[in-house]
Amino acid sequence: MRIKLSVFIALLVATVAVLPASVVAYMFYQQMHIAVEQTTKQNLALQSSLTGEKLTYRMEVLLSGLALFAREKGEAEFELSTKREINNRLRQFLNTYRIVNSLYLLDAKGQVVTGIGAAKKHVIKENFAAKPEFSIKPEPHGSFIFFDNSQLVHSVENPYGVAIITPVFNKRHELTSYLLSIIPSQDLPQLIGKHSKQFKVAFYHQGSWLAGDYWEANADINDYIHDIDIGLPNYGNLLSVSIHIAEPADRLMFAVEEAMTPIYGVGATLCLATLLFSFFIARYITASLSRFYQHINSLQAGVKDDYHPKFWVVELHNLYQIFNKMQLTIGQQLSNLQSKNSELKQADILRQQYLSQVESLNKELEEKVQERTQTLEETLKLVEESSVVLERVIRYRRELQGLDNIAVIELTLKYLKQSLPQMDMALIIQGDRYHQAAMKQTQAVFDLEQVLNKSMALGEEQWHQGVSALDDGTPVLRLGRNGSGLGCLALKQMPSSQFQHCLLMFVKELGSYLEIRKLTAELDFLARTDALTQLGNRKLFDETLEGFETQLDTEVGLFIIDVNGLKQVNDNKGHEVGDALLQKVAELIRHCSGGITDKCFRLGGDEYAIILAGDELKQSQTLYKRLLEEQPKMNFAFDVMGGYSGFSCSIGFASTANTIFSMLYSVADQNMYQVKREHYRDARTKKMA
């Protein structure tokens, strides 16, 4: 395809002139679009912030009104009013705060008393007192509860609403009741009043739509989200609402077009002026090049051209002078060409020398590549060995679970011998609450007790990354962190650096396992042990009793033991003496149940329990006799037992031989209280005598 020079020049000039102008116009349009978009977002953010402040203010006014209403009515002894009087007061409040749909009075336990608005049966069925947010203990406080119940808000299309719980206290600051205020979510837009029609407003809670305008997630809009938290200092939680402000996306394009309208006219004028200027430049360059082309043809044909054109462009005029001088310089160039040929021959000799040097360098490079390849193969071999060791460690970690210390040592030594078959070693693991100490060595080359004592005596400064040496040079590796006292691994000698990493991986894995096992055992013991008496606590008692519930073929007996006169001891001698008495009772129970059962518990306060199961139940009478006989023998350092002579306990017993399992605790407890009543009756009789 060929085009005329004039057309080519016109296209070239137009491209050079119009294309940059178009690029600048496009960039300006983009900047304008970004500026308008930022302005739109700022406007949305401002509208969202104003809406949030308005909603927060109106809700805080409502909460303050509820708090004031609760305080005034509570101090006026709300609970003494009739239901009719209460409903009249609630109706007056609803007439003042129209946003509240329903207002109910709940008692101190959260049960519905009376109210105005939604049907009472629907409020009872919703059972707000069972919600996690409705906290009655330890301190009553206000709270917000979101619910989904169309019967409470009288709307099937929008069943969402917010319940506000406000505690009511009397003059003595005692909790008497609660106010339950129900606000339908569909009425939330009323709190912010009217807003501009160009914006859409919606309310969300935890990502779910509550009220206001609704639009699909893929709608072509620009929106802004503003999160607010509403509440007062005495409220247990906050009312968290997300306000979504949106406007159609085509408004942005309309604003951009409106801002760009005057710029379009200026751009069109500049483009037209550029095209006219390009046309003039193209004509001038075409005429100049045509004259220059004619002169070149004359030179090529060997015809002397007497016509000497004048060029306005200095560069074209200089080029014309250069062509005139070319004929004079061509002859000189031919002579120079011959000299250049001789120089090329000399260069070819130098090239041959260079190629020989390159060949020798290639040989040296091949040797170095072979050397590096050998090194890489050795590295890959080490990586493969490390992968095998890692697989062993993972398998070792799984097999460790649930083993005692002897099995742990045997398993550990087995894996270590797989990786270090020629290494003599000894492993020592200290005992804990549920596991006995154990030690073992692959060959009889260590004094295990001496190794343990010396390793435990090493100070922190003598350990380096868990590795140290005894005074005789024996290398030892610590299990766990310093001070944990988990044990150690002793070696005849340290392995080479190639195998040290493998050894450390197994030692760290074992140390981590032992630390976690020890911590788990301690936590389990503390969670199920009474801190004062060291007997099992109520949690362990419940778990033990529940375990027997499914063992239908096992007979179970239960002793309930209660200390007589503990309150008088605490009042007369102080709680420290009372605690000492409880500890003495625990010692008595442990002593009496020795050889019969170890299932002894302190249920709380001055109440203890002993569980007998299976063959243990045959010795229930023996245990009961011991408890009665050992009470007078108990040595305790005080002489006044709250007005009663001596120390005694009330004991109740029941078994599944004559009581169903579910009533076992209740029957034993009743029997204990029967004994306690007889004890106090006898004590009063003796005192009167």
What pLDDT shows up at residue 644?
40
Band of pLDDT at residue 30, cut at 50, 70 and 90: confident
Residue 45: partners with Cβ closer than 8 Å, 6 or more residues away? 224, 226
Band of pLDDT at residue 61, cut at 50, 70 and 90: confident
Alpha helix (H) residue ranges in 246-313: 250-301
Residue 83: partners with Cβ closer than 8 Å, 6 or more residues away? 113, 114
What pLDDT shows up at residue 194?
64
Backbone angles phi, psi at 519, to 5 degrees: -65, -40
Are 164 and 63 contacting, i.e. CB atoms less than 8 angstroms apart?
Answer: yes
Instruction: Give the whole-angstrom CA distance, residue 581 versus residue 635.
Output: 10
Q: For residue 468, what are the β-bridge partners? A: 476
Give DSSP secondary structure letters for 295-322: HHHHHHHT---------SSHHHHHHHHH
What pLDDT shows up at residue 517?
85
How many other CB atoms are there within 10 angstroms of residue 133's CB atom?
13
Is pLDDT at 166 greater than 50 in this prediction? yes
Instruction: Give the whole-angstrom CA distance, residue 107 versus residue 352.
Output: 109
What pLDDT shows up at residue 292?
65
Is pLDDT at 174 greater than 90 in this prediction? no
Is pLDDT at 363 greater than 70 in this prediction? yes
Instruction: Give the whole-angstrom CA distance, residue 511 versus residue 485.
Output: 10
**CB-based burial label for 143 (10 Å; 0-12, 13-18, 19+):** buried
Are 96 and 65 contacting, i.e. CB atoms less than 8 angstroms apart?
Answer: yes
- Per-residue pLDDT tens for 634-671? 766 554 444 444 678 999 999 998 899 999 999 999 99
Question: Which range, of 6-20, 215-229, 393-407, averages the lowest pLDDT?
Answer: 6-20
What pLDDT shows up at residue 312?
61
What pLDDT shows up at residue 536?
93
Is pLDDT at 247 greater than 90 in this prediction? no
What pLDDT shows up at residue 74?
75
Is pLDDT at 255 greater than 80 in this prediction? no
Instruction: Give the whole-angstrom CA distance, residue 119 versus residue 123.
Output: 7
Residue 605: partners with Cβ closer than 8 Å, 6 or more residues away? 566
Which of the two residues, 276 and 583, has the higher pLDDT score?
583
Helices 566-573, 575-593: crossing angle, 10 deg rounding? 140
Instruction: Give the whole-angstrom CA distance, residue 644 versus residue 627.
Output: 19
Question: Which range, of 104-108, 260-264, 427-431, averages the lowest pLDDT?
Answer: 260-264
Is pLDDT at 37 greater than 90 in this prediction? no
What pLDDT shows up at residue 138?
54
- Alpha carbon separation from 556 to 395, 405, 562, 598, 613 (Å, rounded): 43, 34, 20, 14, 5
What pLDDT shows up at residue 641?
45
What percentage of the chain reaches a pLDDT higher than 90? 15
Specify the 3-state DSSP secondary structure of 495: coil
Instruction: Give the whole-angstrom CA distance, residue 442 versus residue 425.
Output: 6
Q: Tell me the average pLDDT of the chain.
A: 81
Is pLDDT at 198 greater than 80 in this prediction? no
DSSP 644: B
